[in-house]
């Protein structure tokens, strides 16, 4: 499914209309966060605008730019009237359980994460994540090694308004980013140390640029058994029903 179709499907959930979708060419009117702006006039860019109707002052317009295989969006006005940043990507990652807690020297600093699930309809899930003073609303679709991910930066106020709807489907964890390889083929493991009802669980996730890259990855000896593609070990399942091995 194309990125624009995924975004449109999100808005079908509410009573709003999707007006005519008209691609246009030419220079972008505003920079896109996280994207090399030297490529902004490349023929591979296309500018799109979609009017979302009169649902509320929270969802007025989406403007996004498409670059080759990925999508970068700037749009959907939030409760404060500022545009949210939207990212659509294919996420390729492998997941491993960690038998032991890595050393503090290896882990480095961590980031506390509260994560709750608003809806699930396999293989699609919608979650809200709150990290310090930032928050995201994320849609994940698919299963296995590669999944489609739509990530929308929202305000902490909006995230806290959604949080009560995640009762019984929550995760509390601290995430550490650990560099694994030296040189050009450098990979980073996101090591999650869980708390609350999942205390004692430790998981490492490694993202890759392609499935070929993922297949060639040799996990370090401090990784344990692989969990990639096992639905019982997905974060959504862990939030809902706890560890499958206890």
Q: Where are the domains of the chain?
A: 1-77
* Torsion 54-58-63-69 (CA) sign: negative
What's the Cα-to-Cα distance from 232 to each of 7, 53, 203, rounded to whole Å?
27, 39, 14
How does residue 83 score in pLDDT terms, banded at 50, 70 and 90? low
Q: Read off the pLDDT of each residue in 18-27 and give the average, rounded to a whole number.
A: 32
* Mean confidence (pLDDT) of the chain: 75
Residues 6+ apart with CB under 8 A from 79: 58, 155, 157, 158
Q: Whole-prediction pTM value?
A: 0.67
Q: Read off the pLDDT of each residue in 180-187 and give the average, rounded to a whole number.
A: 74
Q: Which of 7-11, 17-21, 86-90, 213-217 has the lowest mean pLDDT?
A: 17-21
Q: Read off the pLDDT of each residue in 15-38 and give the average, rounded to a whole number.
A: 36
Output the pLDDT for position 17. Answer: 30
Output the pLDDT for position 39. Answer: 39
Output the pLDDT for position 87. Answer: 83
Q: For residue range 103-135, list pLDDT tens digits in order.
A: 999 999 999 999 999 999 888 999 999 998 899
Q: How far apart are CA 168 and CA 174, in angstroms?
A: 19
Which DSSP string do the residues of 75-109 spell out, in sequence order?
Answer: EEE-TTSPEEEEEEEEEEEEEEE-SSPPPHHHH-S
How many alpha carbons fall within 13 Å on the CB side of residue 93? 22
How does residue 183 score in pLDDT terms, banded at 50, 70 and 90? low
């Amino acid at each position: 499914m194309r990125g624009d179709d995924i975004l449109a499907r999100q808005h079908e959930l509410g009573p709003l209309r999707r007006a005519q979708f008209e691609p246009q060419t030419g220079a972008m009117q505003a920079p896109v966060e996280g994207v090399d702006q030297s490529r902004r006039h490349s023929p591979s860019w296309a500018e799109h605008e979609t009017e979302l109707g009169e649902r509320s002052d929270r969802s007025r317009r989406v403007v996004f730019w498409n670059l080759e295989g990925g999508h970068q969006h700037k749009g959907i006005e939030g409760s404060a009237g500022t545009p949210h940043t939207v990212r659509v990507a294919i996420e390729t990652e492998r997941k491993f359980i960690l038998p032991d807690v890595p050393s503090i020297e290896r882990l480095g600093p961590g980031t506390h994460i509260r994560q709750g699930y608003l809806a699930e309809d396999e293989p699609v899930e919608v979650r809200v994540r709150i990290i310090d003073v930032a928050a995201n609303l994320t849609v994940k679709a698919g299963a296995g090694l590669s999944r489609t991910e739509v990530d929308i930066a929202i305000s902490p106020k909006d995230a806290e308004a959604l949080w009560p709807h995640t009762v019984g489907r929550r995760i509390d964890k601290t995430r550490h980013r650990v560099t694994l390889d030296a040189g050009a083929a450098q990979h980073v493991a996101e090591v999650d140390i869980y708390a609350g009802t999942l205390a004692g669980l430790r998981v490492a996730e490694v993202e890759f640029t392609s499935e070929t890259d993922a297949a060639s990855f040799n996990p370090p000896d401090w990784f344990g058994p692989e969990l990639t593609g096992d639905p019982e070990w997905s974060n959504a399942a862990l939030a809902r029903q706890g560890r499958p091995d206890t």
